[in-house]
A = this chain, B = another copy of it.
Amino acid sequence: MLDANRVRVLVEVAHAGSIAAAAERMSFTAPALSQQLAKLERELGCTLLERRQGGVRLTGAGRILLAYGERVMGDLRDAETAVRAAAGERPRRLSLGTFASAGKVLVPGALAAFARAHPDVRPALSDLEPPDGYGLVASGALDLLITHRYPGVQLPAAAGLRRERILVDPLMLVLPEGHPAARPGPVPLAEAAGDEWICGAPGVPNRVALETAAREAGVRVRVAYETRDYEVTLALIRAGVGVGLVPRTVLGACEPSGWSAHPVAAADPAAPPPAREVYLVHRRRPLAPVPEMASLLRLSAHRALDRGAGAAAAD
């Protein structure tokens, strides 16, 4: 049968993106992993990795084995924690993956409350932009993932995992002070047709969402500046560089001057307004503190939404 330790090497290499990086994480040297992978490939009689510039990429067979391997690693971790839990031991670590703006808006409050309730559990945070992170959850390297979906972007498959939507975060049209379209109530995207946009690079979810919404509104998008960072986006709007779409929860956490935020009037009034959905992802039998952290994050999400609504109404 396949050697589980070799499979683990493949999983780590896939997550790290290169043999060298995985070796670093596993406190081994690169040749050690290279040899184990070679044996795994010989054993299976097919190549699992394409050696290419700057690292490796999985072949089709490699991706199949990765999916199984992640499950196996996750189950091994679960096994250990289950046995230790039966012996009365409590987990002392909770690893959390989050995308950038949740890391600023949702996580700090939840983490503070969690730390008060569980001073003995050390939370570990890592930044992961969608669609990354699912494999880390499956393999148990991550206990809880906070991820999102923008309109027009497909949600990744989550085989064997639980995914829960904790927030529908409306995308607000943010205009500089004095913009002619600025007024209370929903604003059609078409009124920003003459403006330049500040958004992510092509392929970045918020860029896809903007292009999707613009297409539906029949507006052509001209991009003035590309950034993933909403604080930068707001600073640029404040400076009059252009306009942008920003999730409502982000607004409540930013300097509320120099711009005004408006609900987007959807082209089709029956359709829901464009919104970023925020999800939690974890394994089926999560560690004891995971559900608690999840409910703190839900709470944090609702508060952030309220704050954002306040920031938007302020204008």
Contacts and interface: CB of A to CB of B under 8 A. Distances in A.
Nearest to A45: B87
In the assembly, how many copies of this chain are there? Answer: 2
Contacts of A80: 1-2, 44
Q: Is the interface of A mostly helix, strand, loop or mixed?
A: helix
A301 to B, nearest CB: 32
Interface string A66-88: 00110111011111101110110
Interface in A77-103: 77-80, 82-84, 86-87, 89
Given A44-B83, A46-B83, A68 B64 contact: no
Given A61-B83, A61-B86, A61-B87, A68 B72 contact: no
Interface string A165-178: 00000000000000
Contacts of A287: none
18 contacts: A2-B80, A7-B79, A44-B87, A45-B89, A46-B86, A46-B87, A61-B83, A64-B83, A65-B79, A65-B83, A68-B76, A68-B79, A69-B79, A71-B75, A72-B72, A72-B75, A72-B79, A75-B75
